Amino acid sequence: MEKINFPTLKERFLKYVSFDTQSDENNPATPSSEGQYVLAKEIVKELHQIGLTDAEVDANGYVMATLPSNSSKKLPVIGFIAHLDTSPDAPGKTMPKAVYYDGTDIVLNESLQIILSAQLFPEIKQYAGQELIVTDGTSLLGADDKAGVAEIITAMEYLLAHPEIPHGTIRIGFTPDEEIGRGADHFDVKKFGADWAYTVDGGEIGELEYENFNGASAKIIFTGRSVHPGSAKGKMINAATLAREFAGLLPPNETPEHTEGREGFYHLTKMEGTVEESSLNYIIRDHDRLRFEQRKRKMQEICSSMQQKYGENAVQLVLKDQYYNMLEKIEPVKYIVDIAGEAMRNCGITPKIKPIRGGSDGARLSYEGLPCPNIFTGGHNSHGRFEFVPVPSMEAAVRVILEICKIVEERS
């Protein structure tokens, strides 16, 4: 495919990241933060403006819209999905800036001396000579996944402006709360009505993924007994010490900072407490379903052992499965992955097929009857203040979306 320019893409992305849409795992509402609903309403307004007249947002913050078929053929309905929220792992109120990268370190924040180091993040060097969108060093950027939102909408805008390009019916959907594992909770697969879809929620240019972690969350609550430390012997139960003991009983090298590829992990995401009550929040991840179940059992065994030692009420474990590996559901329809791979190659991009070291809405949707592999957005270093996205990679994602639509039309 020729290298088309998309003049609205960068501006659209910068507009979306100006909305603070950080999800909140402590809020049971959907969406879990008001900013997500504010952005959803703004996107619906924009979709109407570009010509997607059925665009709507429901009470839970889910946006759906349709680009009707303009082809004389009977074609499958395909979908493209991205999420509105940003991770709670880093501040979500962004101050992005565009820089033309010269291959050296980028000073994100001079006053705070926060630097995007080419030594620490050597993958950035491949983008020398390109325009990058970076943070000011105090927040994440939000390319995960507002780059995906911007890319999908830009592709639909292009097809609307070029009715001479034949395509089938295309459904687009934007979900809240993906980052806290709830993105598919209220997604109406039947209403969406696609035969299959692609989440546009991957990383660097070329990523194509149809295998992900099995995921679960774990919260362990420790109840202690506070006694004056001067007379505490044989009486005090220190909940904070219990939390430390529990954490120490997990395998020390099975954490994100020690694992890669298909290696699973336990990830401590939050800890807080006092002598009387403490808590630990973990996420549990593994690509292999058997090892995933073994990891959960390990947590249960530690909890049982500590209950025997300190009393049943001293340690309480709440385990919740979040999603499963989509591989099982994608393999029977592997041709949808092949279409995406062909689209990338047609755009001069080498597909990088690898397992997702995370999850996506697509994993859960695949188990609900909507097969949903994942394609790249172009972003790097998600969930942190060193997140960045090259503008040419975002443009490439738009071209891939357009090429997927073209291949589906030509093959049917």
CATH code: domain of residue 292: 3.30.70.360
Question: Same structural domain for residues 305 and 405?
Answer: no
Instruction: Say yes or no: 112 and 135 in one domain.
Output: yes
Phi, psi of 344 (to 5 degrees): -65, -45
Same domain? 127 vs 248: no
Residue 78 is assigned to a structural domain of this protein: yes
165 and 207 both lie in a single domain: yes
Q: Tell me the sheet residues that pair with 79.
A: 171, 197
Mean pLDDT over residues 168-187, rounded? 95
Which of 289, 305, 323 is a domain's end point? 323
Q: Are residues 279 and 400 in the same domain?
A: no
- Decide if 4 is inside a domain: no
pLDDT at 44: 98
CA-CA-CA-CA dihedral for 189, 194, 195, 198, to nearest 10: -90
pLDDT band at 128 (very low <50, low <70, confident <90, very high): very high
Of 323, 349, 378, the domain-final residue:
323
pLDDT band at 359 (very low <50, low <70, confident <90, very high): confident
Is the bond leading into 31 cis (omega within 30 degrees of zero)? Answer: yes
89 and 224: one domain? no
Return the pLDDT at 412: 80
DSSP notation for 234-247: TT-B-HHHHHHHHH
Domain match, 198 and 254 both:
no
- Retrieve residue 70's tokens: 């303009």
Edge-to-edge order in the sheet of strand 265-273: 265-273, 277-286, 214-223, 315-323
- The pLDDT of 243-261, averaged and rounded, is 96
Rounded Cα gap, residues 229 and 227, in angstroms: 6
Q: Which residue among the candidates 85, 157, 286, 387 is catalytic per the annotation?
A: 85
Claim to verify: residue 292 and residue 162 sit in the same structural domain: no
How buried is 102 (Cβ within 10 angstroms: 0-12 exposed, 13-18 middle, 19+ buried)?
Answer: exposed
**Domain total of the chain:** 2
pLDDT at 4: 80
| Residue 1: pLDDT band with limits 50, 70, 90 | low
First-residue to last-residue Cα distance in the chain: 19
Residues 16 and 154 in one domain: yes
Domain-embedded: residue 3: no
Q: Give the Cα separation of 318 and 250 in Å (integer).
A: 16
DSSP calls for 322-347: EE--THHHHGGGTHHHHHHHHHHHHT
Q: Which tens digit of pLDDT belongs to each residue from 266-288?
A: 999 999 999 999 999 999 999 99
Q: What is the pTM of this model?
A: 0.87
Distance of CA 163 to the CA centre of its chain: 32
180, 23 Cβ separation under 8 angstroms: yes
Q: In the predicted model, what is the mean pLDDT of residues 152-159? A: 98
Cβ atoms < 10 Å from Cβ of 90: 19
Could you tell me if 114 and 152 lie in one domain? yes
Q: Which domain holds residue 291?
A: 214-323
Same domain, 128 and 200: yes
Pairing label, strands 196-202, 78-83: parallel
User: Residue 2 above 70 pLDDT?
Assistant: no
Residue in this structure with the two tokens 């395509």, named with its chain if needed: 167
Is residue 178 part of the annotated active site? The answer reads yes
What CATH number does residue 332 fall under?
A: 3.40.630.10
CA distances from 376 to 80, 198, 315, 339 (A): 12, 10, 42, 14
Could you read off the pLDDT of 322-358 as tens digits, one per residue? 889 999 999 999 999 999 999 999 999 999 998 988 8
Does the structure show a pLDDT above 80 at 404? yes
The answer to whether 85 is a known catalytic residue is yes
Single out the catalytic residue among 24, 145, 177, 178: 178
Q: Which two tokens stand for residue 224?
A: 């202690």
Give per-residue pLDDT as tens, 70-89.
999 999 999 999 999 999 99
Question: Left, alpha or beta for 87 (phi > 0: left; psi -120 to 50: alpha)?
Answer: beta
In terms of domains, do 280 and 151 share one?
Answer: no
Please state, for a pLDDT cut of 70, what percent of the chain lies above it: 100
Whether 85 is in a domain gets the answer: yes
User: Token match 């093959």: residue?
Assistant: 411
